[in-house]
Structure 1
Amino acid sequence: MSVYHIGEIVSLVFMAIALGMDAFSVSLGMGMQQVRLKRIAIVGAVIGLFHMIMPFIGILLGQAISAQIGQYATLLGGMLLVGIGSQMIFSSFNHETKRLAQPIGIGLVFFALSVSLDSFSVGLSLGMSEVKTVIALILFGTASTILTWLGMILGKKMHGLLGVYSEILGGSILCGFGLHILFG
């Protein structure tokens, strides 16, 4: 293996960790909703899968689509995170309403989509280069899965320490991260 290939793989590892860090941050907030370990495993796997699918689509469309599409995808992801976080905060004050931001079914799809949209943008740019697609996708999926698991487990531990305020904190983390995506 040449020095160029090792450098490319190291760059992809750092990119995978960077892409997975948003999943970690968001999962920290989601983990505060008293999520069971089985659900944490499923959520991590689904987010990892989305972190492979989205850049793959981006890579396929990378040469055909302009860079502006990637900005709209990021914007949509930020708005989804703010919406989910706001709903968590409001539901913490009204315990009679059913939570919409559950990492189950369509809620899990929206959650995974919102944290993996930035990887679509990365895929667009990677599609314009000659990156090793399979290696990149495996690294992106693995890093985001592991970081999601870590975030949700830490969030679960923090929930025990914070009690009723944990859902407000979790929603605030989601909102803050979404606002950071939108305006940062």
Structure 2
Amino acid sequence: MAHVYMDVPAGVTTSMNLSATLILAFGMSMDAFAASIGKGAALHQPRFSEALRTGLIFGVIETITPLIGWSIGQFATQFVVSWNTWIAFILLAFLGGRMIAEGLRGKNSECQPVHRHGFWLLVMTAIATSLDAMAIGVSLAFLQVNILQTALMIGMATLIMSTAGIMVGRFIGPILGKRAEILGGVVLIGIGCNILYSSLA
């Protein structure tokens, strides 16, 4: 996804209209959408309830992270922008590598189909894909915005996109078979690499 950092000189304030906030919200949800497709593909015919559960976890965390960034404010802006991409890359690479390893093991053994991802695995994935939102929250501290409303819109957009991503993955999974989990891992690593590349570039 495109990484949007808004550098505003000290003492200068500006505002965001509804359309700009919506664009920001859905832009922030794209990494979660891609990750949830991989998660959905790795499951065996996930139900809508599982998709909604994943969407809620991703959405809640994506709501919280801009608020954390907002609270940090301008004093730690450079720290957040400098390190959040590396933290996200490491987390996504770890989670993706774990999925690939499990997928490779599954190809050589009889495994029960997985119908549900673990809560903490989803939380870790959600945190990794939402660290950009924390940096955006720091930037929003310099703007005349309702941070609670903006964070809720980001969370709602992420809930919608993550839920949709799981359902898209439901249809991809049977086509890919046991390779679905491997693909999901590759997707997570790819998201991490894209975040890191976008930051360094």
Shorter-chain TM-score category? Answer: 0.7 to 0.9
Spell out the pairing of 1:9-88 with structure 2 (5 A cutoff).
Answer: 9-34=18-43, 36-37=46-47, 38-88=49-99
Measured after TM superposition, the shift of residue 134 of structure 1 is 2.2
Q: Deviation digits for residues 93-130 of structure 1, max 9, x if unmatched?
A: 113699xxx73232122111111111001001001222
CA distance in 2, matches of 1:67, 1:129: 17
Please say if residues 61 and 127 of structure 2, whose CA atoms lie closer than 8 Å, have aligned partners that are also in contact: yes
**Are 2:154 and 1:135 aligned?**
no
SS class of match (2:54)? helix
Measured after TM superposition, the shift of residue 55 of structure 1 is 0.2
Deviating 4+ runs (over 2 angstroms)? 35-39, 95-98
Measured after TM superposition, the shift of residue 67 of structure 1 is 2.4
Q: TM-score, normalised by structure 1?
A: 0.88
Aligned residues: 177
CA distance in 2, matches of 1:143, 1:122: 15
Gaps of 5+ in 1: none
Measured after TM superposition, the shift of residue 34 of structure 1 is 1.1
Please say if residues 103 and 111 of structure 1, whose CA atoms lie closer than 8 Å, have aligned partners that are also in contact: no
CA distance in 2, matches of 1:177, 1:66: 23
**Are 2:140 and 1:123 aligned?**
no
Measured after TM superposition, the shift of residue 163 of structure 1 is 1.0
Gaps of 5+ in 2: 1-13
**Are 2:172 and 1:158 aligned?**
yes
Measured after TM superposition, the shift of residue 78 of structure 1 is 1.7
Q: TM-score, normalised by structure 2?
A: 0.81
Measured after TM superposition, the shift of residue 83 of structure 1 is 1.1
Bigger shift: residues 127-136 or 50-59:
127-136
**Are 2:194 and 1:180 aligned?**
yes
Bigger shift: residues 72-81 or 119-128:
72-81
Measured after TM superposition, the shift of residue 57 of structure 1 is 0.9
More helix as a share of residues: 1
Please say if residues 71 and 121 of structure 1, whose CA atoms lie closer than 8 Å, have aligned partners that are also in contact: no
Please say if residues 41 and 173 of structure 2, whose CA atoms lie closer than 8 Å, have aligned partners that are also in contact: yes
Bigger shift: residues 153-162 or 87-96:
87-96
SS class of match (1:130)? coil
SS class of match (1:125)? helix
SS class of match (2:178)? helix
Please say if residues 51 and 164 of structure 2, whose CA atoms lie closer than 8 Å, have aligned partners that are also in contact: no
Measured after TM superposition, the shift of residue 41 of structure 1 is 1.2
Aligned residues: CA RMSD: 2.1
**Are 2:95 and 1:90 aligned?**
no
Q: Tell me what 2:185 maps to.
A: 171
Measured after TM superposition, the shift of residue 152 of structure 1 is 1.1
CA distance in 2, matches of 1:67, 1:11: 24
